[in-house]
Structure 1
Amino acid sequence: MGPLGWLLDAQVSLAGSPVLVREIVGNGFGLAAAMFGLRRVVWAWPVGMIGNVLLFTVFLGGAFATPQAHDLYGQAGRQVFFFGLGLYGWWRWSRNRRRGGDGAAAVEPRWATGRERLGLLAAAVAGTAVSYPILAALGSWGPLPDAWILTGSLLATYGMARGYVDFWLIWIAVDVVGLPLLLRGGFYPSAAMYLVYGAFCVWGLAAWWRTSRAARTDLAPIPSSYAEVAA
């Protein structure tokens, strides 16, 4: 068995249940991508895309050999969209780095504007409403939470690419819904990673929030009284 065959077929036992090694490895890549994202490093995107490919095979038990009896089409489908958004984020952050020169950050965190938040909210409602009946018709296990996980994950990834601090809050909302669904479905490594991601998102939110406040302070205009003294 070659390395690829081993990665596709290897299993370990966790709490008495069989777990695919590629589920563990895929979530490991996801965590590494999140850490790069926290530090606003361009490598967040290609590393995350590798995890997307592996996890896509995990959540489609009908097409790939998996020990779980459930197909989570929303979870699998979001890996495809993640891959596409990863290309967009990779391009956008790389462009920002080139424009900013040596030492420039790949993205400058900021809170979304009121108009942008309304757009995200509308997209969240519409995306969940549209994907729910589709996932139910496909036979996805837990189609309603799966629909929100799919929609919320895409919006969070888009927000990360744009540099919205708000994207961390969206991820937290996804984790709150996703954790019980994955536990009931027996996807234990992914469920454990959702716990880690939840704590990580709180950390990331605080870090990006501080950075956005520091950026606003640096750009704040000098009061006229100080300007007159300096003159």
Structure 2
Amino acid sequence: MDFLRWLFEAQIPVGGSVLILREVLGNIFGLASAVGGMRRRVWAWPVGIAGNLLLLTVFLGNVFGSATPATLWGQAGRQVMFIAVAVYGWNRWRQAEQAPGAGAAAIAPHWASNKTRLLLAASLVAGTMALTPVFESLGSYPPVWADAWTFMGSLLATYGMARGWTEFWLIWVAVDIVGVPLLFSAGYFASAFMYLFYGIFTLTGFFVWWRAAKVLRSATEPVSGPASAADVAVRA
């Protein structure tokens, strides 16, 4: 109990203000999960879940009686969504990793179909419009549409990662573009700076997966000769 009390109350002084320790730790776990995702390692999912649990307690604001800047229902809800989708992704990647000839990587990156891309874009816009009045009624921090946008984008990006779609990195970029100003204005500076860094990191991850998808695609072409999944994983 003493450890939990310390965890919920601990703050890190920075200049004339403070950072919430749980927020910092949650984002560190999130970054580690992103690195694991870029390398296509199964451990990325449980590490991400640990970070989601920490950030959930942060964005719920005064629900836990802690002195957090503001309550962001979209940000809190996306942590619950992350955990649910992460369980799906964790199971999917474990199955892929255990498949014969899977190699070192847990998933094979590939491009989504044009139809899937249109569905992702439409879902992002429609979901944002549908959730904005819901979050507004719950008292989420304005602009509420930005909170809804980050929620829907995070849902689609996490699902895309579970499916192995290379485009999921670009969805994260769209989330960061809106999420960074929202978090700065709400006073969640640790998360805002991490989102800013994620924006650069996700572009890197996109090109890493793009190259891996290209290698896998060329390895399946008859002209290039046979290549095992393990060889492809090493080359990626």
The ranges of structure 1 where at least 4 consecutive aligned residues each deviate by more than 4 angstroms after the TM superposition are none
What SS class does the counterpart of residue 13 from structure 2 fall into? strand
Separation of aligned partners in 1, 2:160 and 2:223? 31
* Larger CA Rg, structure 1 vs 2: 1
| Corresponding position of 2:150 | 149
Structure 1 unmatched ranges of 5 or more: 224-231
Letter matched to residue 48 of structure 1: G
**1:134-145 superposed matches below 5 A:** 134-142=134-142, 143-145=144-146
Offset at 1:104? 4.4
Conservation of the 8 A alpha-carbon contact between 2:180 and 2:195 = yes
| Corresponding position of 2:107 | 107
| Corresponding position of 2:205 | 204
Separation of aligned partners in 1, 2:50 and 2:78? 14
Separation of aligned partners in 2, 1:188 and 1:13? 12
The more displaced of 165-174 and 97-106 is: 97-106
| Corresponding position of 1:27 | 27
Letter matched to residue 131 of structure 2: S
| Corresponding position of 2:45 | 45
- Aligned-CA RMSD value: 1.4
Separation of aligned partners in 1, 2:109 and 2:41? 13
Aligned residues: 223
1:72 to 2:72 alignment: yes
Deviation string, structure 1 residues 168-208 (Cα, Å, up to 9, x no partner): 00000100100011111110110110111111101101100
TM-score by length of 1: 0.93
Letter matched to residue 123 of structure 2: A
Letter matched to residue 219 of structure 1: T
Separation of aligned partners in 2, 1:79 and 1:181? 16
Separation of aligned partners in 1, 2:153 and 2:130? 13
1:215 to 2:219 alignment: no
1:161 to 2:166 alignment: no
TM-score by length of 2: 0.91
